[in-house]
Amino acid sequence: MDKKQLQRFAVIAMVAIVAAGASHIYTRHTMVTAPSAPAESTSMALAGARGAAGAVPGYLVDPGRAAGQILVVKPEDSVQDAVARAQPGDTIQIMPGVYHQTVYIDKDDIALVGVIHGSDWPTFDGEGKRNDAVLYSGNGVRVENLKIVNYKGNAIMGQAGNNFVIRHNRIANSGVYGIFPEFAQNGLIEYNELTGIEDAAIYVGMCDNIEVAHNEVHGNVAGIEIENSRHAIVENNTAYDNAGGILAFITPGLPIKTTFDVVIRNNFVVANNHKNFGAPGSIVSGVPSGTGIIVMAADDVIIENNFIRDNKNAGIIVADHKSFANITPDPEADPNPDRVSVLWNLFDNNGSDPIKEVRALMVAGLTREGPDLVAVGGGSGSCVAAAGTLKALNIGGWGACKRTSSADIATYLLDKPAAPRALTTADRGKLIYSSVCAGCHAYNVRMVGPPTQIIQALYLGNAQGIADYIANPVKKRADFPPMPPQSHLNADLRLAVAQYLLTVAPPKPVPARP
């Protein structure tokens, strides 16, 4: 075989492998689902679901739960009214048509399921003026089969809602985050398509036990981001034409300080060369365009069996906090990525036009070839399999992997639904801070909004001022997106979160070493 044939063979082999992986996963989901399989999804919805399992796996919804009612909503109706009428266990069925609405679900076990007739979808259109399409704080919430376009804040944002399913939605040009569960445990994000998002299209923030599978993300600044989250699998997704494809990050200044046990496998990570259109000065604007996968400070990440091709900066970057633009240290977070395992992946044509920092490493490494894999900054215990088959840069400290695959990690989803987060009145403010505000406000770095320490300095103990601002924010900064109104929180909760925000303490400095 000549080189072309070889490449073609490799591609076919890869597709076969990915397909095999997919069917393996499928069987697993279906098996888990089979015993409970609540019949809430309509057959029309199912048909739209590209053959997805369709029903809700038992680990996400209590199988003993009574089947609820179906509430049908048409475009002229208010979805929020249906939510108000719904009882836990009910399904709100959204008929095709256009909805200029924002929905907030503060009840448990509600399914928001679109009905798709051929090419007619229920479409939520924010018309460039509404902030969020779907917000939820209930547990066991499912959002499925919706088209969401032209929102300014988030398409679907979860606020401490455990056991969620976000499936088969199509999201375009809808703000800073597309699908954004924050501070949640046990959730599934699958079969969604997202494009035109200014930060991360799928952003898993401060979560545990998450599965992100079979999604297609393109034309975003970041495709899929696992941030300050533990036990997450990102598999069988396609990430192309983003500035960065798949990210596993520790962002400094957030209430949760770690990211570990992340498996990134069986994904297509192709030509993520989109111009970075993140807000200037924000962390995401520091993602170098042309990067397939980035691990920043996260630990115990396994990268296996991905097809990583045509990313012009680098296939995979493993970086510490110091090496990343717009990051300032958090003394409570370990800045180094440790124990990253790059197992067998298929690489092709990465690093054709690397950024200057990577070029400098190439010069130091006496190579003219841009990297499939490059490590920058500190970190220990990382390994690479079959190092000879990829163009690696600066991985002198890396060993050979003992682990050969991640097959022993079938899923990080739980056997049964996670319990709701315990909530006493005293820590309501704290819960809202973690599950809402910290999605955009980190303590000491610029995520989407100004850092918490700056808000503290601007308001100087004036909690009511903050509570008033968030009920009805006005635009203040030309180079920041708008702050979405938090009017879904009642006045007491707004004041509680404002009071808590003012007490958030700086990360404790680590005592200086002698």
Partner 1 sequence: MPRSKHALLVPALAAVLFAAGAAVAADGRSVYLRCVACHGVAAEGVASTGAPPLAGLHAAYLQRQLQSFASGARGAKPGDKYGTSMRSAGAPLLSSDTERAAVASYLSTLKPGVQRTPGRTTANGRNYFNAVCGACHGSGGEGNPALGAPRLAGLPEAYLARQFAAFQSGQRGYQPDDRYGIQMRTITTMLPDAETVRDVIAYAASLRP
95, 383, 414, 454: which one binds partner 1 (CB under 8 A): 454
Looking only at residues 135 through 194 of this chain, which bind partner 1 when binding is defined by CB under 8 A? none
In whole angstroms, what is the distance from residue 162 CA to residue 504 CA?
A: 24
**How many residues are recorded in the chain?**
514
Which lies closer to ligand HEC via its Cβ, residue 140 or residue 175? Answer: 175
Selected range binding partner 1 among 49-57, 137-145, 280-288, 393-401, rule: CB under 8 A? 280-288
* # of chain residues touching ligand HEC (CB under 6 A): 29
479 is a contact residue toward partner 1 (CB under 8 A) = yes
Q: Which stretch binds partner 1 (CB under 8 A): 115-123, 362-370, 404-412, 451-459?
A: 451-459
Q: Using the minimum distance from each CB to ligand HEC, give the nearer residue, 279 or 373.
A: 279
Contact assessment for residue 169 and residue 189, using Cβ atoms and an 8 Å cutoff: no
Our finding on whether 439 is near ligand HEC (CB under 6 A) is yes
Distance of closest approach, residue 76 Cβ to ligand HEC, in angstroms: 29
DSSP state of 438: G
User: Which lies closer to partner 1 via its Cβ, residue 280 or residue 397?
Assistant: 280
CB of 504 to ligand HEC, least distance (A): 10
Min. distance of Cβ 513 from partner 1 in angstroms? 15
Residue type, 225: E
Partner from ligand HEC, partner 1, none binding residue 52, C-beta < 5-8 Å depending on class: none
Compare residues 295 and 498 and give the one whose CB is closer to ligand HEC: 498
Within the chain, what is the greatest distance between any pair of CA atoms? 72
Helical H runs in 273-355?
Answer: none
Instruction: Supply the minimum distance, in Å, between the C-beta of residue 448 and partner 1.
Output: 11
Q: Which amino acid, 368?
A: R
DSSP annotation string for 475-488: ---TTSPPPPP-TT
3-state DSSP helix/strand/coil percent for the chain, to nearest 5? 20, 30, 50
Q: Per rule CB under 6 A, is residue 448 in the interface with ligand HEC?
A: yes
Between CA 166 and CA 211 the distance in angstroms is 10
Partner in contact with 233, chosen from ligand HEC, partner 1, none, beta carbon below 5 to 8 Å by kind: none
**Total of residues contacting partner 1 (CB under 8 A):** 23
The minimum distance between CB 321 and ligand HEC, in angstroms, equals 22
Q: Is 491 in the site for partner 1 (CB under 8 A)?
A: no
Asked if 280 is part of the footprint of partner 1 (rule: CB under 8 A), the reply reads yes
Q: Is 239 in the site for ligand HEC (CB under 6 A)?
A: no
Cβ atoms of 201 and 178 closer than 8 Å: yes
> Given candidates 155, 233, 455, 463, which one binds ligand HEC under the rule CB under 6 A?
455
Window of 34-42, 189-197, 277-285, 334-342 that interacts with partner 1 by CB under 8 A: 277-285
Q: Contacts from 476-482 at CB under 8 Å and sequence distance 24+? A: 477/450, 479/279, 479/280, 479/281, 480/279, 480/448, 480/449, 480/450, 481/152, 481/153, 481/175, 481/176, 481/198, 481/279, 481/448, 482/131, 482/152, 482/153
Nearest to 272 by CA among 343, 347, 341, 350: 350
Q: What is the DSSP string of 200-230?
A: EEEEEES-EEEEEES-EEESSSEEEEEES-E
Instruction: Please count the CA atoms within 13 angstroms of the CA of 439 that sit on its side-chain side.
Output: 30
On whether the CB atoms of residues 343 and 305 are closer than 8 A, the answer is: yes
Cβ 469 to partner 1 shortest distance, Å: 12
**Is residue 326 close enough to count as binding partner 1 by CB under 8 A?**
yes
13, 39, 325, 419: which one contacts partner 1 (CB under 8 A)? 325
Least distance to partner 1, CB of residue 328, Å: 4
Cβ closest to ligand HEC, residue 55 vs residue 155: 155
Choice between 191 and 469, CB closer to ligand HEC: 469
The answer to whether residue 431 forms part of the interface with ligand HEC (CB under 6 A) is no
For residue 448, the partner it binds in ligand HEC, partner 1, none, with Cβ less than 5 to 8 A by kind, is ligand HEC
| Single residue of 15, 72, 360, 457 touching partner 1 by CB under 8 A | 457
Residue 466 binds ligand HEC (CB under 6 A): yes
Within residues 426-445, the interface with partner 1 by CB under 8 A covers 444-445
Smallest CA-to-CA distance from 351 within 283, 288, 264 is with 288
Which of 456, 431, 452 minimizes the C-alpha distance to 443? Answer: 452
Tell which residue, 375, 370, 380, 378, has the closest CA to residue 394: 375
Q: How far apart are CA 145 and CA 117, in angstroms?
A: 11
Residue 359 within binding range of partner 1, rule CB under 8 A: no
253 contributes a contact to ligand HEC by CB under 6 A: no
The DSSP line for 138-185 is: SSS-EEES-EEES-SSEEEEEES--SEEEES-EEES-SSEEEEEES-E
- Residues in region 472-511 near ligand HEC by CB under 6 A: 475-477, 480-484, 486, 497-498, 501
Exposed / middle / buried, residue 446 (Cβ in 10 Å: 0-12, 13-18, 19+): buried
Q: Which of 476, 490, 491, 503 binds partner 1 (CB under 8 A)?
A: 476
- Residues making contact with ligand HEC (CB under 6 A): 153-154, 176, 432, 436-437, 439-441, 448-450, 455, 458, 466, 469-470, 475-477, 480-484, 486, 497-498, 501
- Residues making contact with partner 1 (CB under 8 A): 279-282, 325-328, 444-446, 450-451, 453-454, 456-458, 460, 476-479
